[in-house]
Structure 1
Amino acid sequence: MKKFLPFAILGVGILILVGAFFITRNKKEIPQEEETAPEIPFEMRPVASLTPTEDGHWLTMKIEKINIEAATVDYLILYSLPDGRSQGVPGTVKIQKGETIERKLLLGSESSGKFRYDEGVSQGTLSFKFRDDKGKLVGKLSTEFHLQSKVKELTSIDNQFKFTLDKTPTKDFFVTMQTFGAFETLPSMSKGPYGVFSSSLVKLSGVVDIEGEIYSWVDNKWTKLDAGKSSNLGIFASVNPQ
């Protein structure tokens, strides 16, 4: 009987290994279910912006005109480094209708008061997930952003929008992105809204290039631009010509 004991132990071990193999394989074959949520109507979408600092190491995220019924928002900035690596800046914040949220986000890392900055960042995505007080997803949004410096042409990642500065800047950083929503709906809007946000403290004029009749959000109203000429950066959209 004793001489068969090692074989019995070996057989049990093989069965355990085979079982573990199939369990592990089955786990890998189960796809992770992506969270789904109803689409947020345009008039209910917040206005989002990313404003870079003068060194390009920080982005000030601002969320305005919050109308969606939600208790919190999960935000995530994902960006690519020149060597191909991806980095993320996540966070969660409580929200209330009508308030403005502002967060200063580091493109890099911090440890014991020491900062490491990610150099060469040029583009990424900004994503929001809105949740109710029980944590259920009630809406989500995502857009791409383009971080540029020392260039005259400021462009969106989708190549549907361009702001050509009258003068080439020598230092300031710029972010071009879609803003999700608008402070006021522009009737028959066909493109946008696109926002251009800068570390500059002075006005920067230029020409907006976007298909259709171009409007700029100035002094709390939409103003039609003549030949796309704008006295400053800001938020822009277009409508199909009549």
Structure 2
Amino acid sequence: MKKFLPIILVVVGVLVFGVVLLLKAGAGVGVEDENANLRDIPLSERPFTSLIPKEDGHWLKMVIEEVKITDAKQLDYELLYRLPDGRTQGVPGTISLVGAGRIERDLLLGSESSGKFRYDEGVEEGTLTLRFRNDKRKLIGKLSTDFHLQKEAKELTSVDGKFKYTLDKEPKNVFFVVMETFGLPKETSGVVSGPYGVFASLRGPFLGTVSLADQIMRWDEANWKPVGEKKSPNIGIFIGVGE
């Protein structure tokens, strides 16, 4: 029996190694399968989404307007943000879309335990991801955007570098978020860039100059209006449209 022991150990080792490989492969396939064959969500179906900073800069109010994606019954959201020391923190959540209209959630940049809050300081950039699932919890669509959180800055910029809003005056004690908003507050044709949103912790107006390719349009809470000479009466939602 002893002379067969080394052979038995080798066979067992090979089997264990094979099982581990299969488990890893299976896990990888599961992740790949969930994200495979996801349909592109057209602009007309994307929910208009915003992250509005609170006055202390420790909270972001996530507002998601009506979700129009066919068969979407559940929404998983995930806010990831980076700390100055390189660590990444996250704020996940799940929302039923059955009968849901406008969705609002206050997202803490920090943590809470037994009613005590710890705030993460120095947060500037992060990512918001929305995952849409059907009644069987199968992933049917995903949207993701970077956001840029700034304070007392005169140049408000998107993470991708394609949008910039230069304030006429540098504000004091005001937080701003620049992000792509996925969808539009009202449909319009010819959109070739954006939509980009600029949101503040205080009410404006914040006059400034917009830098964005193509002809610039701004949402004035009722209609899309052209931004003449790139001068804007306030922050808000901006798009670039074809000539």
TM-score under structure 1 length normalisation = 0.90
Q: CA deviation at 1:150?
A: 1.2
- Cα deviations across residues 67-114 of structure 1 (Å, max 9, x unaligned)? 112111111111111111111111110124771000000111111111
Matches within 5 A, 1:1-242: 4=1, 11-29=7-25, 31-32=28-29, 33=32, 34-36=34-36, 37-69=38-70, 70-96=72-98, 99-241=101-243
Could you tell me whether the CA contact under 8 Å between 1:66 and 1:97 is conserved in 2?
A: no
Unaligned runs of 5+ in 1: none
Alignment partners' CA distance in 1, 2:233 and 2:95: 35
Name structure 2 gaps, 5 residues minimum: none
Distance across 2 between alignment mates of 1:96 and 1:22:
44
In 1, Cα distance between the equivalents of 2:157 and 2:206?
15
Aligned partner letter, 1:104:
D
Amino acid at match of 2:238: F
**Looking at CA atoms only, which structure, 1 or 2, has the larger radius of gyration?**
1
Deviates more, 1:13-22 or 1:54-63: 13-22
- The answer as to whether partners of 1:149 and 1:174 remain within 8 angstroms in 2 is yes
SS state at 2:165 partner: strand
Aligned-partner SS, 2:15: helix
1:99-147 residue CA offsets vs partner (Å, 9 max, x unmatched) = 1000000111111111111111111111111111111222111111111
Q: Secondary structure at the match of 2:35?
A: coil
One-letter amino acid of the counterpart of residue 115, structure 1: F
Does the 8 A contact of 1:66 with 1:96 survive in 2? no
Deviations 1:142-192 (A, max 9, x none): 111111111100001111111111111121111100101112222211211
Q: Alignment identity in percent?
A: 49
2: distance between equivalents of 1:223 and 1:97?
33
Q: Distance in 2 between matches of 1:188 and 1:51?
A: 27
Deviation at 1:13, TM superposition (A): 4.2
148-157 vs 134-143, which moves further: 134-143
Aligned length: 237
Shift of 1:220: 1.6
Aligned partners of 2:60 and 2:146: how far apart in 1?
A: 14
- Measure, in 1, the Cα distance between the counterparts of 2:122 and 2:93: 23
Distance 1:95 1:28 in 2: 33
Aligned-pair distance for 1:240?
Answer: 2.5
Question: What CA distance in whole angstroms lies between the structure 1 residues aligned with 2:99 and 2:219?
Answer: 22
Q: CA separation in 2, counterparts of 1:98 and 1:115?
A: 29
Q: Indicate if the aligned counterparts of 1:127 and 1:142 stay in contact, CA closer than 8 A.
A: yes
Query: Residues 45-70 of structure 1, C-alpha deviation per residue, up to 9 Å, x if partnerless?
Result: 10000011112111110001321121
Q: Quick check: 1:78–1:86 contact (8 Å CA) kept in 2? A: yes
Cα offsets for 1:184-224 (capped at 9, x unmatched) = 22221121110001101332121111112211111321011
